[in-house]
């Protein structure tokens, strides 16, 4: 359990450094004291010294990752009409209103005063033409700073962008020009372009809203879903199926394992093939923090299986979180990452207790009832840790979520596999994909229709009043104390490999 305590100390150090004004000098002092105590302290308190050391290192990693606003940073031109030349740094975030492009500036300045510049700028552009990572753009417009929240309970958009290294934005550019001499395209640009091509193929295979649902569960693109369908999924507590998550990677891993077994591929070639496919798929779906977390967990589980070492779920989860926050400490504040990690932890902590609670002799011994009970167990277990955070951010309490998840979740892997088959067929030959698409249309229609029907009653969801963050922390502290008091069976070295459904 030492590795678990070290990872928790690291994450706590990042959280404290990012939420308080603790000085790096104090963190350096704590690291020196803890490091000097490690070889001296031979007792059980040595674990505490190592945890304090990781806490300090996590806090220092956060401070090191903070952007340095030098004299050439574009923020100095805030509230000024400027022209910026830069490179698209990441996959644009597309929605029904347009696309949000993160531009890394190479030169900028007011008209006639262009010079070297640095910094990241968020530019809001129309949906067309689409832009991809690696494109070089010349954008003119008014550079502004995000506004701070009007009330303490409002969403802090300025802090949200600052955690992504963005201090300024251009809301309404007066001109946008793609330069004729673009920078050499790199791998992510090709993947992004292919992803857009796949989206267009899916739109030609399915009608709406089935096309938007297929695009969401396959490609991780949420734009295009009709507002009525989007509200229906939110009301029924099934919005999680619209995004790529660990479940998608568990399906991909299961398919690759079956393929490797079918062609009798040896363990290490099968491992490298699976690893390459999963990480290409992670980049293909946008490489968000939650997706990368799931890909890391799946990769670690595959590695443990390949070397014939049994893997402990908690260590895999925390190892993935540690790696992500080591690369980018700001990942800890990504809401998608938080919900994904909490859902996984909740399954580990409350999956078996929930299964025992639902194990009733009145359940008929039938495959259908077994599938229903499994879906209900996973739904209720995941809600224990994710529900408080969702209520804090969204204030929507779905009363039909358990029933909706029972009726929808088991069909998601089927819809994903059949939609993937139709997409692959459409990429090879469009008429072939159109011939296969009616088969995938059935589970997609079931999912959307069930969500629409269950969202109709006025009591389907309740609006929870806004509550302070200290109350959220009290709720999590109560859950943690309850879990510790129950003295659950912690994972031991002889536990089996992580179940694919929990990735």
Q: Is the dihedral of CA 280, 281, 286, 291 positive or negative?
A: negative
Q: Taking residues 28-40, what's their average pLDDT?
A: 81
Q: Which two tokens stand for residue 266?
A: 């040896």
Res 495: pLDDT: 43
CA gap 167, 189 in Å, rounded: 25
Q: What is the mean pLDDT of residues 299-307?
A: 75
| Mean pLDDT value across residues 240-251 | 71
Q: Are 172 and 142 in contact (CB under 8 A)?
A: yes
Please tell me the predicted confidence (pLDDT) of residue 127.
Answer: 86
Predicted pLDDT of residue 89: 86
Tell me the C-alpha distance between 94 and 114, whole Å: 30
What is the mean predicted confidence (pLDDT) over 192-221? Answer: 88
Instruction: Report the first-to-last Cα separation within the chain, whole angstroms.
Output: 20
Task: Provide, rounded to the nearest whole percent, the portion of the chain with pLDDT above 90.
Answer: 26
Nearest to 161 by CA among 108, 243, 209, 102: 102
The Cα 313–Cα 498 span in angstroms is: 6
Half-sphere exposure of 171 (CA within 13 A, CB side): 7
Q: How confident is the model at residue 97 (pLDDT cuts 50, 70, 90)?
A: confident
Averaged over 284-297, what is the pLDDT? Answer: 75
Provide the token pair at 98.
């347009």
What would the pLDDT profile of 99-148 be if each residue is shown by its tens digit? 899 999 999 999 888 899 999 999 999 988 888 888 899 999 999 999 88
Q: What is the 3-state secondary structure (H, E, C) of 110-136?
A: CCCCCEECECEEEEEECCCCCCCCCCE
Question: What mean pLDDT is predicted for residues 192-219?
Answer: 89
Three-state secondary structure call for residue 150? coil
Lowest mean pLDDT among 138-142, 292-296, 344-348, 427-431: 292-296
Ramachandran region, residue 487 (left: φ > 0; alpha: ψ -120 to 50; beta: rest): left
Q: What is residue 182's predicted lDDT score, i.e. its pLDDT? A: 55
On the question of pLDDT at 16 being above 50, the answer is yes
**Predicted pLDDT of residue 334:** 84
Report, as an integer, the average pLDDT of 40-65. 82
pLDDT for res 487: 57
Whole-angstrom Cα distance, residue 46 to residue 43?
6
Evaluate if residue 401 carries a pLDDT over 50. yes
Size of the chain in residues: 503
- The pLDDT confidence band at residue 369, using thresholds 50, 70 and 90, is low
The predicted structure's pLDDT at residue 283: 79
CATH of domain 74-183: 2.40.50.140
Are the CB atoms for 215 and 426 separated by under 8 Å?
no
- Return the pLDDT at 444: 94
Q: Parse the chain into domains and list their residue ranges.
A: 2-64, 74-183, 212-244+328-502
Cβ(241)–Cβ(412) below 8 Å: yes
Q: What confidence score (pLDDT) does residue 43 get?
A: 59
Q: What is the pLDDT of residues 415-461, one digit of tens each?
A: 888 999 999 999 999 999 999 999 999 999 999 999 999 999 988 98
183 pLDDT more than 70:
no
Give the pLDDT band of residue 149 (cuts 50, 70, 90): confident
**Rounded mean pLDDT, 470-489:** 82
User: What is the rounded average pLDDT of the residues 339-366?
Assistant: 75
What average pLDDT is seen over the chain? 82
pLDDT at 435: 95
363 pLDDT band (50/70/90 cuts)?
low
Look at residue 133 in the predicted model and tell me its pLDDT. Answer: 83
pLDDT at res. 345: 86
Lowest mean pLDDT among 115-129, 200-214, 489-503: 489-503
For 86, other C-beta atoms within 10 Å of its C-beta total: 25
pLDDT at 377 over 80: no
Work out the pLDDT band at 206, boundaries 50, 70, 90.
Answer: very high
The residue ranking higher by pLDDT, 486 or 372, is 486
Q: Bigger pLDDT: 187 or 164?
A: 164
Q: What burial class does residue 174 get, using C-beta atoms within 10 Å of its C-beta: 0-12 exposed, 13-18 middle, 19+ buried?
A: exposed
pLDDT band (50, 70, 90) for residue 362: low
Q: Give me the pLDDT at residue 502, please.
A: 41
Higher pLDDT, residue 138 or 95: 138
pLDDT at 491: 46
The segment with the largest mean pLDDT, out of 139-143, 251-255, 498-502, is 139-143
Structure token pair of residue 393: 């951010």
Confidence of residue 48 (pLDDT cuts 50, 70, 90): confident
Contact assessment for residue 262 and residue 301, using Cβ atoms and an 8 Å cutoff: no
Rounded CA gap, 243 and 323, in Å? 22
pTM greater than 0.85: no
Closest C-alpha to 302, from 348, 256, 342: 256
The whole-number pLDDT of residue 191 equals 78
């Amino acid at each position: 359990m030492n590795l678990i305590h070290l990872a928790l100390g690291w994450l706590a150090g990042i959280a404290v450094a990012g939420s308080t004004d603790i000085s790096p000098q104090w963190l350096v002092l704590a690291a020196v004291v803890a490091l000097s105590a490690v070889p001296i302290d031979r007792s059980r308190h040595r674990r505490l010294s190592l945890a304090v050391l990781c806490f300090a290192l996590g806090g220092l990693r956060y401070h090191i990752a903070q952007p340095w606003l030098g004299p050439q940073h574009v923020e100095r031109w805030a509230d000024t009409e400027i022209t910026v030349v830069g490179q698209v740094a990441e996959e644009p975030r597309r929605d029904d209103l347009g696309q949000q492009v993160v531009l890394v500036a190479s030169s900028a300045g007011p008209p006639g005063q262009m010079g070297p510049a640095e910094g990241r700028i968020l530019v809001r552009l129309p949906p067309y033409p689409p832009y991809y990572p690696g494109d070089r753009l010349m954008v003119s417009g008014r550079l502004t700073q995000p506004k701070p929240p009007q009330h303490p309970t409002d969403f802090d958009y300025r802090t949200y962008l600052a955690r992504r290294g963005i201090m300024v934005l251009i809301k309404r550019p007066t001109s946008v020009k793609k330069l004729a001499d673009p920078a050499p395209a790199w791998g992510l640009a090709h993947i992004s372009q292919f992803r857009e091509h796949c989206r267009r193929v899916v739109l030609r295979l399915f009608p709406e809203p089935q096309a938007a649902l297929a695009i969401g569960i396959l490609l991780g693109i949420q734009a295009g879903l009709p507002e009525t369908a989007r509200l229906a999924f939110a009301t029924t507590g099934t919005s999680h199926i619209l995004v790529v998550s660990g479940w998608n990677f568990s399906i991909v891993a299961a398919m690759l394992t079956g393929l490797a077994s079918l062609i009798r591929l040896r363990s290490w070639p099968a491992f490298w093939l699976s690893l390459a496919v999963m990480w290409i798929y992670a980049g293909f779906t946008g490489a968000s923090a939650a997706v990368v977390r799931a890909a890391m967990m799946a990769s670690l589980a595959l590695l443990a299986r390949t070397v014939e070492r049994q893997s402990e779920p908690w260590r895999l989860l925390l190892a993935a979180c540690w790696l992500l926050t080591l690369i980018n400490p700001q990942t800890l504040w990504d809401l998608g990452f938080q919900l994904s990690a909490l859902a996984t932890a909740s399954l580990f902590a409350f999956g078996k207790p929930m299964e025992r609670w639902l194990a009733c002799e009145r359940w008929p011994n039938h495959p259908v009832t077994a599938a229903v009970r499994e879906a209900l167990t996973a739904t209720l277990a995941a809600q224990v840790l994710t529900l408080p955070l969702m209520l804090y951010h969204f204030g929507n309490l779905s009363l039909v979520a358990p029933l909706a998840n029972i009726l929808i979740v088991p069909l998601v892997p089927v819809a994903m596999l059949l939609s993937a088959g139709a997409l692959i067929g459409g990429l090879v030959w469009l008429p072939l994909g159109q011939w296969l698409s009616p088969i995938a249309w059935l589970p997609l229609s079931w999912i959307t229709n069930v969500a629409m029907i269950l969202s109709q009653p006025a009591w389907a969801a309740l609006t929870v009043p806004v509550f302070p963050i200290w109350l959220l922390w009290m709720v999590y502290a109560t859950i943690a104390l309850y879990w510790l008091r129950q003295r659950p069976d912690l994972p031991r070295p002889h536990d089996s490999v992580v179940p694919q459904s929990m990735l």
